Structure formats: structure tokens, C-alpha cells
Structure 1
Amino acid sequence: MTDSHPADSYALPRDAPETARLNEQHEYLTKAFGFLIYPSTSSDNPDLRVADIACGSGVWLTDVAARFPFARCDGFDISGDQFPSSRQLEENGLAERVRFHVHNAADPTGVGAAFAGAFDVVAVRLMHIDILGAQSDQAVKNAVALLKPEGYLQWIDWDPLTAHLVQTTPLVPRSGKDELLTGFRAFLATRHTASTARLPQMMRSKGLEM
């Protein structure tokens, strides 16, 4: 499942500071949600297979592999520039169970026979900025195609186009945050990204139960 030269639609630089930001963001999200894999999934399966779509630095996937020492894990991203090195995987005892692959989440040719129907859990996090236009439907289709029967698609995202700030502390200035959100929306408009608000509809259309 490897594209030789997929077009990288990631809007941010793939450098060391961005990798550090992704890793810090992962820590924040994990603390906020309280789980890596949602508790109601079959994460106690001794033959657990996990896929991470648009995995970036691979930090979520390597955390899953460390937390579930029986799991076999595959990460997919349109670029391999931020993947952990083979040496890093060896040093953390993950080289035998964690693999990374360069692949476009919205590839119109699908996921490839080697991975179709192979995974108990398929995870996606914060891909709203990377999927452009009609690609979102294909991305959902591809993610669903990776699932085993009765598998779980765990998609964590937000919709900047419909989001709004909630004031929790009275009288605290928030003009900077308002300006940041407004600017982010304007940026997304230039990229023609799909609205994350459509995800439930797209998932149901692919036969998923919410």
C-alpha cells in the first residue's frame, strides 16, 4: 500500500518543530479524552490489529503499541518525513509490531488488497485541514474498507467552519482567540476543505453504525 509520489496536501512544514508540536498535541488530546482507544472497542483482543490514518509522527500509534503489547499496528500517511526511524522503533521494542506506510488517505484506487478488511480498530485524528473538497468521501470510504467485520472506526476531529468560542470566565479578553479562529476559517476557505460536520452522514452512507 505505497504510492510512489503522492501529492502532499499537508498545510504545515514537515520539520522537527512541527513533529514536536504534533507530539505535544497528542499528549493534550490523550489527557483530554482519557483514552487512546475508546473503551467500548475490542482492544482486549489478543490478535488486535490497529491502523492509524494520516498518522504524522506516529506518536499515537507507538503509544498504542506500548499500551497493548499484543497489538500489531500499521500507520499510513501521505508523507513519511515524520515517521519514527527504524532505530527509534528498535530502541522502544516496537520494530516487530509497528510498520509505517506512505499512502494517501483519499487514494481513489482504495486501500490495497493486503490491508482491506484487516483491522479491528482504524483511527483518524484531526484530518480536517488535509482532505480537500470531494476527497473527504473517498477518505471515509477507504477508512471503512480497512475494517474487519464488527471493527471500529475511531475518528476524532472538529469543524472549524461551524465552531465557536465559549466564554467560561467572565470579562476575560478573547479578541485574540476570535481573530485566530476567524483567520483559520479564512485559510480553510482558500483550501476548499470539506466540512467535518458531514462526517456522521458520510459514515452512515458507508454502512457504519454510530
Structure 2
Amino acid sequence: MTNDQPYTTAGAAAEGFQLLHRENNAANYGYREANRLNLQHFLWRESLQFNTHPSVLPCLAPGPLSIADVVCSTGLWLIDTARELPHAQLDGLDSNLTLAPQKHLLPSNIALYEWDVFQSQSTVPSELVGKYDLVHVRSLATRLAEKDLKPVIQRLYQLLRPGGCLQWDESDYTNMCVKNADPASEAPALTELLKLWYSDGHYNWTRALPQLLREGGFQVPVDEYFDAKTELVKAFHDLHLLTLDEFALAIIRMGKHEAAAQIFKMVSDSVEEHRRGASLSIPQLVVVAIKPTVV
């Protein structure tokens, strides 16, 4: 995480971000959030060039596959993967299915179920224990503090059959930065937004994900790092600003209007900074972990 000159109006905004982190949930389940998540899916797919990591399918037993997308949100990963694997059964699991398509709009091999992987008292439903060949999750960092990771990892472990794979796609907040076409040019609004998002390393656990999964009983053969392709820098930058807008709206719902106003102002100022060549960049991580066949 890189720093530049300070942005002088961000005091309340910092308090708003701290509150957001304590709540660990910025979702509003409206059409704005759905559009942002849909854009995120397509950009991740374009960046990674896969939905399912190439190492996964060769590791799995032959025959029809059972696949789960945990925190499936709008369901686009499921829909894309169902097209690639038409003989697989795909289940979407989420605490709130408002953003997902209705049943009659989904392919016949996709089913959706309400289940909250984050709930501290949550247990894996007995009918789902050991059911899946592949479990996929993406972008959970804004919903998870490091202290809450172990039980979530354990629940994901329980969903898998022995030999099954977990694919976890995540943002690398440790190495996010402001990229500038002119290194001498300053971008104070983007720099302050970066600092607020970094939040003293609140999301740094994403870089330690392979070790955290090993501690949870997994074998981890794949830990890959992806930076935005040059032609996608602007699209990802705009996505990150949309995400910051959603954070500000969540902070308004928590009653912190001044904090949200400061964030909106910085986002607005950053548009001009982007025109001058500055972009917010957040690399991506893909970790593939395997549940051992013998424990």
C-alpha cells in the first residue's frame, strides 16, 4: 500500500470506515449493488481468463460434478460455469438471494439455497456436508475480519468431499496502489481513498490465505497473483469507485452522513485525477486448496 500527500477532509471518513469494518457488511441488496457485482464478475473473468482454475478439474474424480458457489450474490459465476460444465449440478449458497435470478430464469442444473457462512452460530446443513467436488468463493474480504476466518474456513472444509477442491478468489489489499502515468503527478483524493480502504491492514489476511487454509487442514497447491491488464486498468478503476460509493451508502445507512459526504467528495475529485492519468489498482489472488482424501 502506497501513500502520498494527505487529504485534509478525511477525519470523519476514517471513522466511517472503522464502523464499516466492525459491521463487516456493506451489502444493500439493491440494483446498484447487483450491477456492481455483475461488472465485477465479468472483469474478473476477463482478467483471469477462467471461471474455474485450470488445475481444478484434472484433480477431481470423473463423473458428474457437484459444485457450490458460496456467497453466490447475483449468480453469474454459477451461470457461466453451468455453461462450461453442462453435466454438473451447481448450487448457489447465500444468506440473502435477493440479487440472484428467480428460479425460472436459471439453467436447470442450478439451484439456490439460503445459508449464511458468516453467521457465528451457523452449522453446515447435514445434507450439504461432504457433498461438493468444488466449492468456489470470491471477494469475501469486506465481509470478514481475520478473527472470523477460522470458522468460515472450517465450514467450507465441511462442504467438500475428501479430495474436493476449494477455489478462493480474493483481492490483494496489501499490494493495492495508485498507479500514475506521470510519477511526478500527485493524486491526493485517490491516495486518501486508498489509505482509508487499506485501514491499517484490516484486509491483509488475504495475502496470508494459503497459510490460513493449511492451518484449516487443506493442502494448497496453487497460489497465483494477477495484476490488472493494461487494457482493463480503467474498467477496474471505475469498478473500485463504484465499490467506494457502495461503502459510502452503507455508512449513510449507519447514520454517518458527514463521513459518507467526505467519501463521495473524494470519489468525485478522483475522477479528475484519473483523467490526468492516475488509477486505483488492486491485484487479485487465486488460491486452490484440496481437502485431503485421508485426514
Aligning the two structures, in what range does the TM-score lie when normalised by the shorter sequence? 0.7 to 0.9
Quick one: which of 25, 37, 50 aligns to 1:10?
25
Higher relative contact order (CA 8 A, sep 6+): 2
Secondary structure at the residue paired with 1:114?
A: helix
Counterpart residue type for residue 113 of structure 2? H
Give 1:205's aligned amino acid.
Answer: E
Deviations 1:15-34 (A, max 9, x none): 01210110111000001001
Aligned residues: 194
**Pairwise mapping of residues 80-159 of structure 1 onto structure 2 (< 5 A)?**
80-89=97-106, 94=107, 96-107=108-119, 108-132=121-145, 134-159=147-172
Distance 1:175 1:36 in 2: 36
Q: Which residue of 2 aligns with 1:4?
A: none
Structure 1 residue 9, shift from structure 2 partner: 5.3
Contact 1:50 1:120 in 2 (8 A): yes
Q: Distance in 1 between matches of 2:117 and 2:145?
A: 11
Q: CA deviation at 1:136?
A: 1.4
Instruction: Return the letter of the residue paired with 1:97.
Output: N
How much has 1:158 moved relative to structure 2? 2.1
Q: Extract unaligned runs of 5+ from structure 1.
A: 1-7
Within 5 Å, which residues of 2 pair with 1:50-89? Answer: 50-89=67-106
> TM-score, normalized by length of structure 2?
0.60
- Contact 2:178-2:194 at 8 Å conserved across structures: no
CA deviation map 1:75-125 (0-9, x unaligned):
111212112112211xxxx1x311111111134442121111111111110
Counterparts of 2:201 and 2:66, CA distance in 1: 34
Give the superposed CA RMSD.
2.5
Q: For the residues of structure 1 that align with 2:43 and 2:181, how far apart are their CA atoms?
A: 21
Say which SS state the counterpart of residue 52 (structure 1) adopts.
strand
Superposition map of 1:156-195 within 5 A: 156-160=169-173, 162-165=174-177, 167=179, 169-171=181-183, 173-186=186-199, 195=205
Secondary structure in 2 aligned to 1:156?
A: strand
* Residue aligning to 2:50: 35
Residue 196 of structure 1: aligned partner: 206
Preserved CA contact (<8 Å) 1:129 1:188: no
Identical counterparts, % of pairs: 26
